[in-house]
Amino acid sequence: MTTHRARGRVKLSIPRFRIAKDSAIADREPLPKDIDPTAPNDARMYDYALGGKDNYSADRHVSEQIRAALPVAINAVRENRKFMRRAVRYMLSLGIRQFLDLGCGLPGRGNVHEIVHGADPEATVVYVDKDPVPVTHFQALLSSSRTATAVQADIRRPNEILSGRDVTSLIDFSRPVGVLMVAVLHYVFDEDDPAGIVTAFSDALSPGSHLAICHFTSEGWGPEDLAFLNGLAESAGVPVALRDRKQIAALLGGLDLIEPGLVLPPHWRPDRPLTDPSGWLLAGMCRKN
């Protein structure tokens, strides 16, 4: 197997991974035509890593390959989820009562709307994902809710999200909004202008709004681990753009990073004794003044 670097990503020459059949599928409702359970999916792999059940053999197989080769990988998934929860609670403590979760992924334990509605049942939450899998699950979960919904949309087209009826019916951009870009911008490569995406959202926000970010970093990776993970990501059809601290900070434009800045997720305003960080993620929060 050979590796090469192209446009900020590492590619590993391995076959695209597919599973022909999953015995669990027969027991489930028919799937929408755009959902392929025989190919790994990043949202379902994330769900499996967190102990969820909304995943298939293809997702579990690749996840276990990663776990076997790099046992610390599971820590990165958990760090990301815990950071998201702390970020939401922090924004709630500031009085923010509107939340836009971009690249939400599948429902799990401690979803944004559960944390938010635990503080204020009238606060509003909109989940956004381009993948129909998590959107379908969230829509079913929130079918009777007046204050939360899920929308299928691509953050690379921010104006469609910001002007969408399902978004504007719950989010008033003239008041502070809490925006979550947690584990999403590393799926946006430079050719799709991630800094421009952040700017489009931040320009729509009123002063006092906050944006939380958690991003895979290229800092601290061994070359073999880097090649292996990127190879599996490419094989699964979910390549990632790894960025260093300076590159991640540059995505945030004119927003002001609040203390403690861009740090390893467990070090961002911890609410319990610190555990050894995976070193694979950087997290932070910005304020619009």
For 140-193, the pLDDT digits (tens) are 999 999 999 999 999 999 999 999 999 999 999 999 999 999 999 999 999 999
CA distance 118 to 198: 28
pLDDT tens readout for residues 200-216: 999 999 999 999 999 99
CA distance 67 to 237: 18
Is 12's pLDDT higher than 50? no
The side-by-side arrangement of strands in the sheet containing 210-216 is 148-152, 124-129, 98-102, 178-182, 210-216, 281-287, 256-257
Give the mean model confidence (pLDDT) for residues 42-59.
63
- Tokens 């990127």 map to which residue? 230
Give the mean model confidence (pLDDT) for residues 78-105.
96
Is 6's pLDDT higher than 60? no
pLDDT of residue 56: 64
pLDDT of residue 237: 64
Task: Convert 217-230 to b/e letters by CB count within 10 Å (16 or more is b).
Answer: bbeebeeeebbbbb
| Of 122, 126, 111, 210, the residue nearest 168 (C-alpha) | 126
| Of 92, 98, 102, the residue nearest 201 (C-alpha) | 102
Rg of the Cα atoms in the chain: 18
Q: What's this model's pTM, rounded to 2 decimal places? A: 0.79
Q: According to the per-residue pLDDT averaged within each range, which of 7-21, 51-65, 191-205, 223-237 is highest?
A: 191-205
Q: Which CATH class is domain 75-221+244-287?
A: alpha beta
Domain boundaries, the chain: 75-221+244-287
Tell me the percentage of the chain whose pLDDT exceeds 70: 72
What residues contact 240, with CB distance under 8 A and at least 6 apart?
9, 186, 187, 216, 230, 233
